[in-house]
Amino acid sequence: MRMSPRGYALLVLVLSARTLAASASEFEGYEAYVQPDVLRVRASASADASILTRLPINHPVWVVGAPTAEGFVEVQVNNQEVITSDRDALKGFVRADMLGKRQTEKMLEDQLASARTPQEQWMWLERLMALRGSEIDKERMRTLAQQSGNKEWLAQAKRMEEPPPTVIGVCFQGRVSILAQLVGNKLEPLVESHDNAAQNSPKVRAAEARLRARALELTTLRFSHYRPGMLGTGYLVQPRVVTAEDILETARTRIELGPCPQLRGEVSVFNAHVFVSAPLESNQDATFSSAELARYVAQLPSPVHELRVFTPPGRFVELNIAGAVYLFQKGKPEAWACSTGACTRRRLTSTQAPVWLQLASGQQMRIGSQTEDVDNTGWGTPANSGLWVSPEFVIHVFDGNGGLVEGKVTLDQYGC
């Protein structure tokens, strides 16, 4: 957290005077916005208290308590740009002087222009970088770090060159569950399986600690969320690590990042499907005509029953028939990959209801479940008819050279 020596001093005094004037019993809450590039939300009103989550610049919070003697206020946090219920809100404590009105690029640019010291310049550049993330801001930070020789700034400027982690999740049981992280050409599962009897063992506790630390790293990432016909972005800022038990006495420890968002103004309960902490391309190919599909269909086993066609953006056509998947490169009628023995070089795991996504980097992802429609709303809120379901989500990643990465992650659910 970084504090401006001026600029917001008057605003902070006004907010403090307003809240100090009210007793705890008559305090009226109000909305405020995060001022620094990153703000820590703590479990109690102390700088040494454990961190519950981190909030990005301009994230709205609802102040629910008057300032403490230590200079903290209690706030309630909801997911940005979504509607959530009170039970899904997170409460914690933040420094009162780190809250203020919503900032704009012009406000920050004006503060940067009037900054007198390198420290002030760096602070305003950090905020601009967090707000818009432009290459110009990044270059200005690099230049300032080099001119100052500040080792911490130099290290931070170097980290800016590293791409943010690509984390993949789905809407599951009404909440966002993180499945895996894409590291280069490998998928690292972020779900731990273990015997329920060993739930308190050092190994399981260590796994939970690893996921808890990773969850905090994810809170300031912007996630793109996708469902058919809609692509949106926003932060998911309510991390928790949960362990769910199923009837087989096994457990899955996983990261949840708050409830599945329902966009403002949307009345449907049909929630977003897939969440990726990387920019997604929104283009989708038009549905193929029968004539265009004929040469691909000709390569399938005969007779063909229950043919479903997926036309992901870019380079693939997927034909799904009775549990078997055939993937074709566009313009080439021979099967490129499939889920049967006919494809010896590239084998796909057959999945139900796949979702195709394309990253801005050019990689394509195919995410599906071994259990079709695991909660009757396409990975939304649970609505099963009293059955235990352990859906195994399968993630395929394709790079521009035809490389294929596959990962499987199993989650538990009980529908009633």
Structure tokens at 147: 């001119």
CATH code: domain 9-100 is: 2.30.30.40
Q: Where are the domains of the chain?
A: 9-100, 105-160, 166-414
Q: How many CB atoms lie within 10 A of CB 279?
A: 15
The answer to whether 123 touches 4, Cβ cutoff 8 Å, is: yes
The answer to whether 327 touches 299, Cβ cutoff 8 Å, is: no
Query: Would the pTM of this model clear 0.85, i.e. be above it?
Result: no
349-354: long-range contacts (C-beta < 8 A, 24 or more apart)? Answer: 349/394, 349/396, 349/406, 349/408, 350/323, 350/324, 350/325, 351/325, 351/394, 353/378, 353/379, 354/310, 354/318, 354/320
Q: How many CB atoms lie within 10 A of CB 28?
A: 9
Q: How many CB atoms lie within 10 A of CB 354?
A: 20
CA dihedral (48, 51, 56, 57) positive or negative: negative
Tens-level pLDDT at each residue, the chain (416 residues) = 444 444 444 344 344 444 444 445 577 889 999 999 999 999 999 999 989 889 999 999 999 999 999 999 999 987 755 555 555 678 999 999 999 999 999 999 999 999 999 999 999 999 999 998 889 999 999 999 999 999 999 999 998 888 778 999 988 777 788 999 998 788 999 988 777 777 778 888 888 888 888 888 888 888 888 876 778 888 888 777 777 665 555 677 888 887 776 544 444 444 567 899 988 887 666 777 888 889 899 988 877 888 888 878 778 899 988 878 999 998 888 899 999 888 888 899 988 878 888 888 888 899 988 875 554 444 433 343 344 567 788 999 998 777 889 999 888 765 44
List all residues 6 or more positions away from 17 whose beta carbon is below 8 Å from its beta carbon: none
Q: How many CB atoms lie within 10 A of CB 306?
A: 8
Task: Respond yes or no on whether the N-terminal peptide bond of residue 313 is cis (omega within 30° of 0).
Answer: no
